[in-house]
Amino acid sequence: MNAPHPPKVAGIDSTVPPPAHTAPPASPAPAAPGATAARGAPGALIQDRLAGWVSDLTTLHELTERLSRTTTLDDALHELLRAGAALAGARRGLVVVEPADGHGPDTTVGLGFARADLGHLETVPRAATSYGRLLDAGAATAGPGAARPRATEVPGADGPAPAGDLAEVVEPDLFADDALDPRHREVAARLGYAASYALPLTTATAGALGAAAWHYDEPAEPTARQRHLIGLYVGQAAEHVARLVELTRARATVATLREELLPTRLPRVAGVQLAARRRTGARGGGDWHDALPLPDAALGLAVGSVTGSGPSAVAATGRLRASLRAYAVMEGEDPVAVLSDLELLLRLTEPARSATALFAYCEPALRKVVLAGAGHSPPLLVGQRRTEFVETSLSAPLGMLACWEAPSVEIRPEPGETLVLYTDGLLHRTGDATDRAFARLHAAAASVPKAAREDPGAIADHILGAVLPDGPDAGDDQEDVVLLAARFA
């Protein structure tokens, strides 16, 4: 049974040239003498070759342009598999990213293979698969600037790949190979593929990154022209994948720093239940929260946002949070003094940066909260009988004025009411104007089911789901989102 033709991709007609496992074309019928002479003219041959080269260059340009528009590693790998399948005349494939330097990220993406199918492939000994041999070869020659192995010549193929192409592993007929690993034979029969073609992902600067393999339903192999085109394409794709690998590593580093700088667990304080939710933007921003026990069974709650993104903003967030903790221990009962000290520190140590912050001094036994804000959105009070914003004094962010000071506000939550603090990223991710974003937030808090109001975590989850119906990771993913909920007994 012949495999169905893959869809056309970026101007490629998947039926031309035909897959290698199809019957060879019949000999052309004899042509008229005049036509033979005309067709054999040197000018016509040159024109045909030029037309073929232009077509190939156009195809590669379209495919690489589509690949360059991908911004995540996962999207790039899926695009690589789709384009490679069209170029090689295959229907299925997989790509394994496993940088030889051992720093990750390690991932496997399939085309036409379900997750369970990829699991079956992982049970095959690594050295028995085409991509596994390429991965092992890349690990053996790891390191930037390592020499690339020469193209592999396969008996029975149309010939070796042109000089300068990447190394390749061609398995034109798996079941005709007496040396095929028994487990590989079993998995290939179960998944229904009979041939494969694999290329490594490697660059001169990043070294070996992984390998990609495409699988045929019947004995087959790409032609010399197909191998040449896919080799050129994979060479360009490897450079793009290398950049995305570095970007993924940077994002993971920023996320780790944020996890280390922000509290990993919330304190247990009598008379109050705490819950926090946080979503980090793609570049790693400066939103933060904190909850710390204070003398006399008091509790300090804080949320804030530092301007900027990336590692510098994360580092500034850590410094600001640590300083606020120190000021809160010394004079937490006066939130205005805490923020004033924080503003002075920020202005002296980081004059080019500003920040918003809100600090609340809570006495759970008395259900008393004194809070002050600096350019921050007002918190929400959510209870069985009311849902309202806490009216705080308008003030500029920290670092914007020569001297910051604004009056504090005292509130007395009723038993069972929850104080919800949040950062502006929650409003920004809605994409609405400020007044509409506040209205959406209020409506989300007011619609919390009565049963869920007993749990601050359920309240936070409901607000996130209602304000951002497409999920907290959708919308403007450059914005951080932080929620801190405190329910008073």
pLDDT 10s digits, 98-130: 999 989 899 999 999 999 999 999 999 999 999
Q: How far is CA 91 from CA 62, 302, 402, in A?
A: 20, 54, 66
- How large is the average pLDDT for residues 240-245? 96
Phi, psi of 18 (to 5 degrees): -70, 155
Least reliable range by pLDDT among 26-30, 155-159, 239-243, 363-367: 155-159
pLDDT > 90? residue 413:
yes
- How large is the average pLDDT for residues 161-169? 54
Of the two residues 368 and 42, the one the predictor is more confident about is 368
Q: Where are the alpha helices (DSSP H) in 296-453?
A: 311-331, 335-349, 425-428, 434-446
CATH number 3.30.70.930 is the correct assignment for the domain at 262-488: no
Angle between helices 224-261 and 42-68 (to 10 degrees): 10
Q: How far is CA 44 from CA 34, 35, 187, in A?
A: 14, 12, 49
How far apart (Å, rounded) are the C-alpha atoms in residues 439 and 87?
Answer: 52
Residue 394: burial class (beta carbons within 10 Å; 0-12, 13-18, 19+)? exposed
- Percent of the chain having pLDDT more than 70? 81
- pLDDT per residue as tens digits for the range 450-472: 989 999 999 999 999 999 876 65
What is the token pair recorded at 284? 């790693």
Contacts of 362 (CB under 8 A, 6+ apart): 272, 298, 299, 300, 301, 368, 369, 486
pLDDT > 90? residue 208:
yes
Grouping H, G, I as helix, E, B as strand and the rest as coil, residue 470 is coil
Residue 307: burial class (beta carbons within 10 Å; 0-12, 13-18, 19+)? middle
Domain boundaries, the chain: 35-252, 262-488
* Confidence class for position 52, pLDDT limits 50, 70, 90: confident
How far apart (Å, rounded) are the C-alpha atoms in residues 259 and 368?
Answer: 30
pLDDT > 70? residue 342:
yes
Q: How much is the pLDDT for 152?
A: 46
Cis peptide before 99 (omega within 30 of 0): no
- How large is the average pLDDT for residues 12-35? 43
Please report how many Cα atoms fall inside a 13 Å half-sphere around the Cα of residue 225, on the Cβ side: 13
Q: How much is the pLDDT for 141?
A: 61
- Percent of the chain having pLDDT more than 90? 60
- The residue behind tokens 């001169």 is 204
CATH number 3.30.565.10 is the correct assignment for the domain at 35-252: no
